[in-house]
């Protein structure tokens, strides 16, 4: 999936397909992304969890190959990335059975529920150890940072995450908000400091069934522009 950089940075890296619990095929998600005017689309099916139907470790290479094959017709018009979403709870994901280096077959991995006690997510210190073994980009999906990391200073947390090559997802899915705001709007200083520390950001719509919302990235782009940090998306545009 090489080629020249595509601009502007309109991306959605959180989408589920029939490989896990999504209602649409990879091809249908890519078609919706192209129609929506996105420049980058990522497929991130659930991986190795007991929570839902998912891609299992032995199917990873086949899954990544299928995504890349589906991307071929789009050439330079749409950058397509192969990813996965991993539940950080040891109750639902047996990390001892996963070869984390094998995730190098993917472009990125989204980890959900890190430091989220209500969801039995692994603590940050444990995730940092896992991250060292993951052979692709790794990020935190739809995390309520303002609640889960409320005892940490924004600058300190941003430094730790950026320093360990961890990107932060801004989820536009309406399920991931409080007080009438998306999670990323509840602690904007964290995202600003993360970007200024050299950390990457992503946008994710967490699509399962609502195909029309594949391009629902406007609020996240407005947030980035308001804080002057849209450049934190640029890494996803490059081959």
CA 234 remoteness from chain centre: 15
pLDDT at 75: 85
Q: Look at the chain and report how many structural domains it folds into.
A: 1
pLDDT at 239: 58
Provide the CATH number for the domain around residue 143: 3.20.20.140
Q: At what angle do helices 154-163 and 188-196 cross, to 10 degrees?
A: 40
- Is residue 1 domain-resident? no
pTM: 0.95
- Is residue 225 domain-resident? no
pLDDT greater than 60 at residue 1: no
List, for residues 43-54, the tens digit of each pLDDT value: 999 999 999 999
* Average pLDDT value for the chain: 94
List, for residues 63-106, the tens digit of each pLDDT value: 999 999 999 999 888 999 999 999 999 999 999 989 999 999 99
- Give the domain extent around 132: 11-210
pLDDT at 8: 61
- Is residue 2 domain-resident? no
- Is residue 53 domain-resident? yes
pLDDT at 238: 77
- Is residue 231 domain-resident? no
Query: Sign (positive/negative) of CA torsion 9, 183, 113, 173?
Result: negative
Cα distance between residue 33 and residue 54, in whole Å: 22
- Is residue 220 domain-resident? no
pLDDT greater than 70 at residue 199: yes
- Is residue 154 domain-resident? yes
Cα distance between residue 56 and residue 76, in whole Å: 30
């Amino acid at each position: 999936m090489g080629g020249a950089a595509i601009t502007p940075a309109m991306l959605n890296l959180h989408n589920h397909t029939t490989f896990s619990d999504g209602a649409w095929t990879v091809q249908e998600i890519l078609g919706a992304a192209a129609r929506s005017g996105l420049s980058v689309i990522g497929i991130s099916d659930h991986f190795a969890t007991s929570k839902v139907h998912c891609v299992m470790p032995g199917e990873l290479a086949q899954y990544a190959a299928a995504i890349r094959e589906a991307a071929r017709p789009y050439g330079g018009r749409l950058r397509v990335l192969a990813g996965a979403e991993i539940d950080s709870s040891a109750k639902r994901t047996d990390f001892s059975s996963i070869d984390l280096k094998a995730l190098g077959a993917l472009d990125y991995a989204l980890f959900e529920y890190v430091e989220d006690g209500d969801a039995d997510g692994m603590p940050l210190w444990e995730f940092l150890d896992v991250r060292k073994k993951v052979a692709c980009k790794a990020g935190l999906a739809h995390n309520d940072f303002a609640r889960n990391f409320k005892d940490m200073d924004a600058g300190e947390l941003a430094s730790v995450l950026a320093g360990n090559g961890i990107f932060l997802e801004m989820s536009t899915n309406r399920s991931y908000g409080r007080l009438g705001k998306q999670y990323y709007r509840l602690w904007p200083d964290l995202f600003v400091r993360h970007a200024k520390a050299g950390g990457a950001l992503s946008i994710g719509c967490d699509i399962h069934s609502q195909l029309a919302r594949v391009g629902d990235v406007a609020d996240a782009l407005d947030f980035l522009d308001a804080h002057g940090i849209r450049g934190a998306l640029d890494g996803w545009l490059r081959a």
